C-alpha cells in the first residue's frame, strides 16, 4: 500500500511531511546531508487562516507561540543613522514569527515518534522499479522504498536526480542575499536597522534569544554569478566586493563577516516545475514551487506537507491519484504565494535612489501599509483545506 516513504530534507517541509505521514500510518524515513538539525537561522513567519489552521491541527500553535520572536520591526536609515522609514513587526513577522532552527527542532520532535532520521547522508541515485524506488546513498548503502519525496529546497537533490538539472527549473531574479551572526557590539535592539544605496541593502538586528549576539542581513543586485556554493571564503569575497566602499556601519559588518563561521549566501531565485511528480517521486515545498525570500515558503511548505500526506492517506497509498490531487489542490495557491518572492529583491534593495525614496514614501503611509498586510494575509489563505482524519492509533497528543 505504498507505506514506506523516503523523504529528502530535514529543514521544514521534510519533518512536517514526516509528522503527517506518521499520523496517517505510513513509515517515513528522512535523510539529511547535514550532520544534525541546523540551529538558529533567520526568522520565518506564518500569516493568515490557512497557515494557522494547519499548525493548529498539528497541535503546534501553543508551543510556537511560546517561542515566537514577537516579530522583527525594521528601521531604514541614511548614512548618518537618521531614520527614513519605520516598518512594524507585523509587516515582516506575520501572525507568528519563529527562528527557522527552532521551528525545525519542534517539527523534528513531533515527527520523531514515527519517523526514522538519517543525518550526514544523501541520495546519490534513484532507480524506479515496478514496485518501488531503489535509493543509493552517499554512505554506500542502498535501500528500497515505495515512494520518494523531495523536500530538499531550492537546490533540491531529488529534483535533480528524478527531473533533470537545476538550471531547467531555477530562475535567477537578479539579487543575492547573505546572513551571518556577529557580536552585538553596535548595541542594536529588537528593531533591525537597514541602510540602502541603489541595488544594495545592509542591515543588522539583535538575536532574539541572546541580545549579546546580532545577525547581519545583506541583499545586493547582480547578474547570475559563478561561485562554489560550498566554499564560504569565496562567497565572503563576493559579498565584500559588492559592499566595499559603503558608509554607515557597513565596514564594521563586513569585518565581522570574515570571522563568521555560519554564513548563508544564495541567489534570490524561484522554482518552476511543470509537474510536481514523476512516477513514484514527488516534490514538496521549495523544491516544487519555491522562492528564496518573500514567497511565504515556510507556510506554504507546511500546508503542502499536510495536503500531500492527506491525499496519500485518502488514496490508500495510490500514489498516482494522490500526487495528482495534491498538485491540483495546491498549485495555484503555491504559485500565488510564490509570486511575492519576485518582488523581494526590488523591495529590499531598489535599483535607483528614486526607487528607494518612493518605497519609503509609500510605506510611511499607514493606509498603504495596511493594504499590503491585508493582501499578504489574503494570498496566504486562498485554499480550502480538506479534513484528513488521522489513524486513531497514531494520535498521541
Summarize the confidence of residues 136-146 as an average pLDDT.
Answer: 97
Q: What is the pLDDT of residue 339?
A: 79
393, pLDDT greater than 60: no
The answer on pLDDT for 293 being more than 90 is no
Which range is least confidently modeled, 5-9, 98-102, 168-172? 98-102
pLDDT at 319 over 50: yes
DSSP state at residue 224: P
pLDDT digits (tens, 9 = 90+) for 80-95: 999 999 988 777 767 8
Q: Residues 84, 195, 80, CA angle at the centre, nearest 5°?
A: 70
- Beta-carbon contacts of residue 106 (< 8 Å; ≥ 6 apart): 60, 63, 64, 67
Residue 356: pLDDT band (50, 70, 90) is very high
Higher pLDDT, 309 or 49: 309
Q: What pLDDT, on the 0 to 100 scale, is given for residue 397?
A: 36
The band of 396, judged by pLDDT with boundaries at 50, 70 and 90, is: very low
Is residue 319 within 8 Å of 26, Cβ to Cβ? no
CB atoms inside a 10 Å sphere around CB 131: 9
Tell me the three cell numbers of residue 279. Answer: 512516477
Contacts of 133 (CB under 8 A, 6+ apart): 6, 126, 127, 144, 145, 146, 147, 148, 279, 280, 281
CB 133 within 8 A of CB 161: no
What span, in angstroms and rounded, lies between the C-alpha atoms of 263 and 387? Answer: 40
pTM of the model: 0.92
- Mean pLDDT of the region 30-34: 96
- Reported residue count of the chain is 397
Average pLDDT over residues 1-6: 87
Q: What is the mean pLDDT of residues 83-111?
A: 87
Helices (H), the chain: 13-23, 48-57, 61-67, 89-93, 100-111, 157-162, 232-243, 250-257, 286-289, 297-314, 319-338, 341-348, 353-363, 366-379
Element (H, E) at 29: strand 27-32
**What CATH number does the domain located at 4-69+99-170+271-344 have?**
3.50.50.60
Q: What is the mean pLDDT of residues 225-251?
A: 94
Per-residue confidence (pLDDT) for residue 59, from 0 to 100: 94
DSSP 262-302: --EEEEEEEE--S-SEETTEEE-THHHH-BSSSS-HHHHHH
Amino acid at each position: 500500500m505504498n507505506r514506506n516513504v523516503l523523504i529528502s530534507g530535514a529543514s521544514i517541509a521534510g519533518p512536517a511531511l514526516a509528522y503527517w505521514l506518521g499520523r496517517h500510518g505510513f513509515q517515513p524515513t528522512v535523510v539529511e546531508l547535514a550532520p544534525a538539525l541546523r540551529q538558529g537561522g533567520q526568522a520565518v513567519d506564518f500569516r493568515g487562516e490557512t497557515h494557522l489552521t494547519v499548525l493548529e491541527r498539528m497541535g503546534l500553535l501553543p508551543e510556537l507561540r511560546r517561542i515566537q520572536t514577537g516579530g522583527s520591526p525594521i528601521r531604514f536609515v541614511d548614512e548618518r543613522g537618521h531614520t527614513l522609514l519605520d516598518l512594524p513587526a507585523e509587516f515582516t513577522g506575520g501572525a507568528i514569527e519563529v527562528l527557522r532552527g527552532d521551528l525545525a527542532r519542534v517539527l523534528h520532535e513531533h515527527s520523531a515518534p514515527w519517523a526514522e532520521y538519517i543525518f550526514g547522508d544523501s541520495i546519490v541515485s534513484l532507480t524506479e522499479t515496478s514496485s518501488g524506488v531503489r535509493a543509493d546513498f552517499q554512505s554506500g548503502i542502498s535501500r528500497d522504498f515505495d515512494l520518494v519525496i523531495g523536500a530538499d529546497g531550492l537546490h533540491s537533490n531529488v529534483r535533480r536526480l528524478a527531473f533533470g538539472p537545476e538550471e531547467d527549473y531555477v530562475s535567477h531574479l537578479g539579487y543575492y542575499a547573505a546572513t551571518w551572526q556577529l557580536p552585538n557590539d553596535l548595541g542594536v535592539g529588537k528593531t533591525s536597522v537597514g541602510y540602502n544605496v541603489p541595488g544594495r541593502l545592509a542591515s543588522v538586528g539583535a538575536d532574539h534569544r541572546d541580545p549579546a549576539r546580532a545577525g547581519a542581513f545583506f541583499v545586493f543586485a547582480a547578474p547570475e554569478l559563478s561561485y562554489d556554493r560550498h566554499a564560504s571564503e569565496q562567497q565572503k569575497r563576493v559579498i565584500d566586493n559588492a559592499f566595499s566602499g559603503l558608509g554607515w556601519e557597513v565596514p564594521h559588518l563586513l569585518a565581522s563577516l570574515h570571522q563568521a563561521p555560519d554564513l548563508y549566501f544564495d541567489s534570490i531565485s524561484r522554482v518552476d516545475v511543470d509537474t510536481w511528480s514523476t512516477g513514484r517521486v514527488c516534490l514538496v515545498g521549495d523544491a516544487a514551487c519555491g522562492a528564496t525570500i518573500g514567497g511565504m515558503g515556510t507556510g506554504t511548505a507546511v500546508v503542502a506537507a499536510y495536503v500531500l500526506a492527506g491525499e496519500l492517506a485518502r488514496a490508500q497509498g495510490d500514489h498516482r491519484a494522490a500526487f495528482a490531487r495534491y498538485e491540483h489542490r495546491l498549485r495555484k495557491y503555491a504559485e500565488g504565494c510564490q509570486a511575492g518572492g519576485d518582488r523581494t529583491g526590488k523591495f529590499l534593495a531598489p535599483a535607483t535612489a528614486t526607487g528607494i525614496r518612493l518605497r519609503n514614501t509609500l510605506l510611511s503611509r499607514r493606509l498603504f501599509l495596511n493594504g499590503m498586510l491585508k493582501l499578504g494575509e489574503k494570498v496566504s489563505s486562498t485554499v480550502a483545506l480538506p479534513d484528513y482524519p488521522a489513524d486513531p492509533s497514531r494520535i498521541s497528543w
